[in-house]
Amino acid sequence: MKAFVTSLCAVIAVLMLSVSAGAQITIHSGDLAGVGTTWTVGDAGIFNPVSFDVGSAGSGQTWNFGEYEWESAAQFTVMNPSDAPHHDVF
* pLDDT tens per residue, range 73-87: 899 999 998 998 898
pLDDT of residue 76: 93
Percent of the chain with pLDDT over 90: 13
DSSP state of 31: G
The phi, psi pair for 76, rounded to 5°, reads -120, 145
* pLDDT tens per residue, range 33-58: 899 999 888 887 777 666 777 788 88
Question: Is the model's pTM score more than 0.95?
Answer: no
